[in-house]
Chain A
Amino acid sequence: MLDVEAIRKVFPALERQLGGRPVIFADNAATSLKPLCVIQAVDYYYRHLCANVHRGVNVLAQEADALYEDSRNSIASLIHARPAEVIFVRNTTEAINLAAHLLDLTKKDDVICSLTEHHSNFLPWLARANVRCVAPDERGRVTPGAFLEAATPKTKLFALGHVSNVTGVVSPVADIIQEARKRGILTLVDAAQSVSHMPLDVQSLGCDFLAFSGHKMFGPSGIGVLWAREEFLKSRPPMLFGGGMVTSVSEDGFQVQPPPHGFEAGTPNIEGTLGMGAAAQFLMGLDMDNVRDHSRRLAEALINAVASVSGLRAFPLDSSADRVPIVSFAVGSMSPDDVAAILCNRYNIMVRSGVHCAEPLVRHFGQRGLVRVSLSVYNTLDEIAYIGESLKSLSSILAR
């Protein structure tokens, strides 16, 4: 079981107060707070290194190299992958765009997405291929059956969000991937919301691509990861060309380094990588099974707290699916921006409002926008109770 109080102590941002009152950070689906180890990793780089990587033989450069690759190893360990298949990019969006590039899709190819996808796992496909969307069921899940029903002989890829950033519902991606493999359909998993809530094992999942960001798993922003099976990394040229990704260059041509370095052109976000590596170490130190248990407890408490507020509707209406502690809702017909602003100003609860970069899903619920509460390892049951009471207080002034 997680010692939440001990965890909270290593997140300095939790000490922040507004108006003399503590802040409840409930916008973790947007980005997460950073533990001391991540801050120290970035700080160490700036104070003691500041050397470029993969370019120098001096001591500082060598140390930077070692730390950089160590971070790659940590990420690989986190997702049970081979380091050579871990490519550092800016974020999940760039990771998925890189995957789309590697797949070399055309408008003749079908890609199956679900309506629950974040725009970053929808638009790269919409821009390149023919996309068919699958609606979630009444519990907010996308099922293997729905994907298979939508598949055609031209279907090349299932683009799967592991956890919806709007509803928190966990989709049965392992089952979907299994069915896809039987039919020779490739799979990409958007793990941006799941990586900080549950163990990930690309080997047992069986997917072909996995994408996630550093900043949602307690790491810095500007860094993310695409994991891809080696066969894809060797079959297509990189997306970016420049320094650091070649073994030799002449006037007539160049030789690209093997993966992963061949896909990391230019000076990378070194400090971000070191921070992300520290974040991976932090998560592994918590034990991801414990993290998952805590996540489930928070999710249950959050759903119950929100359900107890009259005049408030959470989506999906059937809340029985497995989920992480993310819930989106509407308060009567109040503007979600108004609700979010009041929750911040009056109750010091930081949430998000709007379509959450998932406009098709929000419209599917018949809404123009929703308020979203999203929690993480450092949130407590007391905070959830306070969120519930605050919502009740706000809702109580509304006429029915």
Chain B
Amino acid sequence: MNYVARVAADAADRAYRRYRYYLYWRGQERMYRRRSREELRAAQWAKFRNLLEYACERIPLYREKFPKAGVTPESIRKPEDLLRIPVLTKDEIRQNFPDRLVAGDRKFQPDQIRQTSGSTGESLHFIRPEVGWTRTIQYSALLRTGRISNIPVVSLTTPHCTAATCSLQEQRSGPGMWISKYQKIRFLRHLDPLVELPSSDDILCAPGQYLEQLVGIISYLEPCILFGDPVYLGSLALHLKKARKTVPSVRCVVTTFELLTGSLRDRLREVFGCEVYTQYGASEVLDIANECEHHKLHVRTNIVMVEAIRDGVPAKPGEIGRAVITDLENYNMPLIRYDIGDLVQVGDGPCQCGRNTDVLEHVHGRTRDLIAPAGAGNGRALTPLQVDEVFRGLGGIAAYRFVQRSENQYDVAIMPDGLGDGFDRQALEGRCRAMFGSGSRFNITSVEGIKPERSGKFRFVYSQFSPGVV
């Protein structure tokens, strides 16, 4: 009886929380649609000024750094003044965490101290308030399907990430899987809709048995939404394609954690027969932007400020710049103009979807993965998203690794997809030359698998020669 009472209380609590999340997200949607862009920006600016005042007064690093740059809260009156505020780098966070990045009288639980996955280089520690990915996933559900009840969401991420967080210390792998008791009773599934599938670092060379096991689980659960890392989902999709299987219950695929390239989007679309959306976020800032039905990334203007900086100035619409983020809600460890290590392409409003937030066209990958081809003017580089166009649409390729070894020498490792006659080497070489110059040399090899980095994420495009400039 006690057990039944506990479960009933838990179920009621969950139902209540889900309803609250639904109200929250419905409120967010209404705000994005009903308020004008100017109103949203004005509210954003007001939040930013509050954060700036707090940081200048209470956070030792900013108290020391900003006056040296001539920055005071009073001197930052309008968005154009943002450029005067020095950018916060990852090295600065590492060298000042924790005591100089938090207010002296604040105390934190050990589990509030988080770590990034290190996908932009070395991992770093930070403190953020718990927001809950669950809410974000349900926002996706609301955006894509119009409702959040009775929505099983199946998540497949790296072994080090859950839908909520990344942790290098803990690795989920093997047959273990996070599945709530509510999943076993169909009409209660909506109380805890998230199911996290077991993951493996060998996802790109995983044995068929493991992938078949995942397919079995997904078929049983009949998810409405597939959520997770695009590379991991892409490998699963390839397996489904080879086995000529489908999962008809899936109504949309939402990816995050890593870059959603054109190749991966095409494959996921083809296999699951539905639209694919990406969610742009980061461990330290969580939810930054969500892709709408017109495939524009809408910045969560009320919780985060995103700048794209190119050659030291804000990038214009259509241009690619370094993403500089301000988390407007994290007063535990304020991140003001934080160079997150990503490349984003500025969009232009308004969007046809009717939301009036700031818009990004694409996320292009990590700054450290830029490739500067020989003869590129001013070292202007190509982004991982752009390099992916070399491979997009070319059959026979499950995955690739493209590495610049010298100014005009490249190693291209291709993992064949095992379908058809394999990939067309000549066509690939032709595309490579078209993008990187006819004088470049390409060492194209076939590989059986591609391993991720220690974080479980993949680095498909990078240069060992020199980083490009944005």
Contacts and interface: CB of A to CB of B under 8 A. Distances in A.
B94 A345 contact: yes
A19 B125 CA distance: 17
Contact of B91 (A19, A333, A341, A394): A19
Given A337-B169, A397-B102, A346 B110 contact: no
B95 A346 contact: yes
B98 interface: yes
Interface string A359-400: 000000000000000000000000000000000011011111
A19 B95 contact: yes
Interface in B399-434: none
A341 B126 CA distance: 12
Nearest to A353: B169
A334 B115 CA distance: 12
B398 to A, nearest CB: 33
A335 interface: yes
B123 interface: yes
A397 to B, nearest CB: 5
B168 A397 contact: no
Contacts of A337: 168-169
A237 interface: no
B61 to A, nearest CB: 11
A395 to B, nearest CB: 10
Interface in B91-106: 91, 94-99, 102, 106
Contacts of A258: none
Given A335-B169, A398-B107, A399-B107, A345 B98 contact: no
Contacts of B94: 345-346
A354 to B, nearest CB: 10
Q: How large is the interface on A (under 10, 10 to 19, 20 to 34, 35 or more residues)?
A: 10 to 19
A398 B107 CA distance: 5
A393 B98 CA distance: 8
A246 interface: no
A342 B98 contact: yes
B114 to A, nearest CB: 9
Contacts, number: 50
Contacts of A338: 113, 115, 125, 169
B113 A345 contact: no
Interface in A312-363: 332-335, 337-338, 341-342, 345-346
B108 A399 contact: yes
Contacts of A397: 98-99, 102, 106-108
Contacts of B113: 334, 338
A335, A346, A397: residue with the most chain B Cβ atoms closer than 10 Å: A397
Nearest to B90: A345
A333 B110 contact: yes
B116 to A, nearest CB: 11
A19 B123 CA distance: 17
A57 B134 CA distance: 76
Nearest to B93: A345
Contacts of B124: 345
Nearest to B107: A399
A334 B97 CA distance: 14
B96 A346 contact: yes
A393 B60 CA distance: 13
Contacts of B99: 346, 393-394, 396-397
A337 B98 CA distance: 15
Contacts of A19: 91, 95
Given A338-B115, A397-B102, A345 B97 contact: yes
Contacts of B169: 335, 337-338
B218 to A, nearest CB: 32
B209 interface: no
A394 B115 contact: no
B96 A398 contact: no
A388 to B, nearest CB: 15
B5 to A, nearest CB: 31
A346 B94 CA distance: 6
A335 B168 CA distance: 11
A301 B115 CA distance: 32
B453 to A, nearest CB: 17
Interface of B: 91, 94-99, 102, 106-111, 113, 115, 123-125, 168-169
23 contacts: A19-B91, A332-B110, A333-B110, A335-B169, A337-B168, A338-B125, A341-B115, A342-B97, A342-B98, A345-B95, A345-B97, A346-B94, A346-B95, A346-B97, A393-B99, A394-B99, A397-B102, A397-B107, A398-B108, A398-B110, A399-B107, A399-B109, A400-B107
